[in-house]
Structure 1
C-alpha cells in the first residue's frame, strides 16, 4: 500500500518546512492531514517516512543507524567523527561508557548536594532581584540553561566553566549557522559574517573544553561519574574525549533547562496545579528549602507535572533513523535506505492515546493512566539503542530545580508577552519565557 503524503516539490521540501515554522510544526500538520504514517520530503533525505503511531513505532525501535546528512549540523562540534552517526559497532561501546557515567543512581546521589547548592544560588539571586526590582520578570530559559550547564559540568567534568553565558551563546551561534545551512533557513547577516561568527564561536567552545580537560589532570579514576576519566581509561583519543565532552555539554544543558522552563510556564498558566505541587512540597519537605535525593520519589505531583510538560513541549522534538533493509510497518513497507522520522511532538499529540491532547493535565501520568497507553506513546528521550543516555540524570536535575523554585516562588505569566515555541535544536521559545516571581509567605512553619 502506498504511504500517503503531500505531492513532491521542486525544492525538496525546504519551502514547506520553512513555511510551517520548522520540522516540529510541519510534522503536526502532516499527521493531522494524512494520518499516523506519512511520506514526505525532508532536506538531506530522498525518502522519508514519519511515524506518529506508538504501536507502529515499536517495529522500528531496533534500527540502530542515523541518517548522516540529517545530523551534519552537529559535525562541526566533532573532530574525530560525528558522534551522532557512529556506526553500530563503534556506537555500542561508546554508549555503554556514557550510560555507566550518566545513568547510575550512586553518581546522581554523589552530586546531588552540589546540584542543590547551584540551584539554591540561582533561587537566591531571583529572590534578591524580586526585592530590588519588584515585578520585574526573569528570562527563564536564559537563567535555567546557564544553571543546567553548570550542573552538567559539575557532574561530568568535576567543575564549572568560566562565563557560562558566553558558552551558551557560542552553542547557539554554531547551531543557528549549521541548521540554517541544512534547511536553507534565513539567518541574519551575510554568509561571510555568519561563517566567521560560527567559526569564532566554535573556537571558543573548543578552547573552553580544552581548558576544562587540562584542569582535570590525569591519574586513576576513583569517581564513577568522572566522564573524562572514563574516556581516558577506555583508551579514547584526545580528540574523541573533547568531542564527547562538547556533545554532552550541548545535549545536557539545553534539554534540561528548556524542560524546566516549559514546566514553570505551564504551571504559571495553571495556578491550581501549581498549588497542588506546592502543597506536596510543603508536606514532603516541611520547613526544608530543598529536597534530599530520596525525597524525589515522594514528589509524585511534581513528577507528573514535569512529564506532562515534556509531553506538550518535548525538549528534543524529533529523532530519525535510517533503514538498512526493507521494513514492514503495518500495511506499509519502508524501503532500505529510507529515513524513518520520529516526530515526538506529533506522537505526544496523538488524540487516539491522549484525549484532548492540547490540554495540560498532569494526572495523565498517574500509574493507572500510564498502564492504559502503549509504551511508546510517550518518548521525550527517544527510543531504542540511540535514545538519550542522560535521561535519568536529566529527570533528577529537573525535579530538583523545580522543587527548589516552586517551594520558594509562585510563577506568573507576564501580560502581553507571547511565548512561541520554535525549533532551535531543542524546542525553544522565540523570545524566551518571561515570568514574574512572587515569594511564598510563611504560615505556621511551612511556606504557603
Structure 2
C-alpha cells in the first residue's frame, strides 16, 4: 500500500514548506490532511516519511542513524567529522560517555549554585527596569542559557559570552539559510566571510579551555572536558564535542522557559497555583536548592505542558538501514523517518483538546495512560538528547527563581507568533510586563 502524501513538486518541496510558514506548520497540515503516516518532499532527502502516531513511532525507536544530507549544514562546526551523523558503532560509546556527565546528579549539583547566581543576576536587572517597560524574554533568557552552558562546559572561563552568542548566531544564520534557501539581500561573499570568522572565534574560544592545564587527581563525573580528556579523546574531538553541546543547549533552555512564561502570562490562575507551590516549598527563600526541585511537582507539570505545546526542537530525523513495516505501509531502506515533534504533541487521539494549556495532563496517572512516545520533546531512542536531564534542571531552576519573585503578563499589543529557526522561536520576540509578587 502506497504511503499517502502530496504530489511531488519540481522544487523538491521547498515552496510547500515556505507557503506553510515553516516546517513545523507544514507537518501539522500534512498530518491533518493525510493521517498519521505521510510521505513528503524535504530538501536533503530522497524519500521522507513523517510519523505522528506514538504507537507507530515505537517501530522506529531503535534506529541509530541520522540522514547525512539533512544534517550537513552542521558539518562546518566540526573539524573531526560531523558528530551529529557519526556511525552507530562509534556513536554508542560516545553517547555513554556524554550521559555519564550530562545526565548525572553530580554535575547538576556541582553547577547549581552558579546557575542560581546567574539567574538571580537577570532577575535583579529586570527588577530595576521601569514598570511600563516590557522585558524581552527570548533575548534575555537565551543569553542566560548560553551563560549557563558556558559555565557548565567551560568552567566559566569565557571572557566574552556575548561574543559567543553572536558567533553562534552568525554561523547558524548562514548555514540554516543555505539549507532552506532563505534569500538574503547581503552579498554572499560577505555572509560567508562573517560566518567563517565567527566559527574561527568559537573554535579558538573552546580550544583555549580544552588546552588549559587541569588539576591533578581523578576527574569526577561533573567535569565534561575532564571526563573527555581522561577517556583519551583527541583534543580536536573534545573541542568539537564541547561545541556541539553548547550549540544544542544555548537556545533550547532559554526558549523553553520563554514559552512557559508566555503561557503563564495568559493563564494567571495557573501562575497563581505555581506561586503557591513555590511559597509552600521555599518559604522565604528566593531560590530553590537542588533537592527542592523534586518537591516542585506542579512547576514541573507546567514546564512539560509548555514543552508539549512549544517543543524547543520541533522535529528530528533518522535514516532506515533496512526496510521497515509501519502501520500497514512499507518504508524502504535508506528512507528518512521524520519525527514531527509538534504534530505528535498535538495528536488529538492522545491529547484531547490539544491546543489548550492544561498542566494536569502530566499527573502521574495521566502520564501512565498514554503511550511512552506521545511526549518526545527531547527526541526518540539512541539519538535522543543527552542533555535532557540537565536542561530540565536548568529550566525548572530558572522558572522557580523568576516566578517566586515576579508576576508576568503579556505586553499590550504584542503578538507572539511561533516560527521555525534552529529552535521553535517567536518571530518578533516574547515581550512581557514584569511586576514584583512581593515587596522588593
TM-score between the two structures when normalised by the length of structure 1: 0.96
1:43-88 Cα offsets, whole Å, 9 max, x none, are 0111000000000000000000000000011111111000000000
Question: For 1:183-205, what per-residue CA distance to the aligned partner results, in whole angstroms no more than 9, with x for missing partners?
Answer: 21223412112211211211221
Which residue of the partner structure matches residue 412 of structure 2?
415
Give the Å deviation of 1:216: 5.5
Task: Render the CA deviation track for 1:115-148: whole Å, top value 9, x for unaligned.
Answer: 111111111111122xxx2221111111111111
Map of 2:356 onto structure 1: 359
Indicate whether 1:269 and 2:238 are aligned.
no
Alpha-carbon offset, residue 223 of structure 1? 3.0
Whole-Å separation in 1 of the counterparts to 2:163 and 2:37: 41
Q: How does 1:384-423 map to 2 (within 5 A)?
A: 384-423=381-420
8 Å Cα contact 1:119/1:401 also seen in 2: yes
Which residue in the other structure is 1:244 paired with? 241
1:107 aligns with 107
Q: What is the count of residue pairs matched by the alignment?
A: 440
Instruction: Please show how residues 360-375 of structure 1 align to structure 2 within 5 Å.
Output: 360-375=357-372
Which 10-residue stretch deviates more, 180-189 or 20-29?
Answer: 180-189
**Contact 1:221 1:230 survives alignment (8 Å):** no
Q: Is the CA contact 2:118–2:148 (under 8 Å) kept in the aligned structure 1? A: yes
C-alpha separation in 1, matches of 2:183 and 2:353? 35
Counting only pairs closer than 5 Å after superposition, residues 406-445 of structure 1 correspond to structure 2 as 406-442=403-439
Match of 1:28 in 2: 28
Match of 1:84 in 2: 84
Partner in structure 2 of residue 283 of structure 1: 280
Task: Measure, in 2, the Cα distance between the counterparts of 1:354 and 1:240.
Answer: 42
Which stretches of structure 1, 4 residues or longer, exceed 6 Å deviation after superposition?
A: none
Shift of 1:393: 0.6
In structure 2, the partner of 1:383 is: 380
Q: Give the 3-state SS of the residue equivalent to 1:435 in structure 2.
A: strand
Aligned counterparts of 1:233 and 1:364: Cα–Cα separation in 2: 43
Please, what is the CA RMSD of the aligned residues? 1.3
Residue 173 of structure 1: how far off its partner (Å):
1.5
Give yes or no for contact 2:210–2:235 (8 Å, CA) kept in 1: no
Gaps of 5+ in 2: none
Q: Distance in 2 between matches of 1:113 and 1:150?
A: 14
The reply on whether 1:95 has 2:95 as its aligned counterpart is: yes
The aligned counterpart of 1:253 is 250
Unpaired segments ≥5 residues, structure 1: none
- In structure 1, what is the equivalent of residue 226 of structure 2? 229
More displaced stretch, 67-76 vs 193-202? 193-202
My pick for the range that moved more, 106-115 or 93-102, is 106-115
Cα deviation for residue 215 of structure 1 reads: 3.8
For residue 50 of structure 1, give the secondary structure of its aligned residue in structure 2.
strand
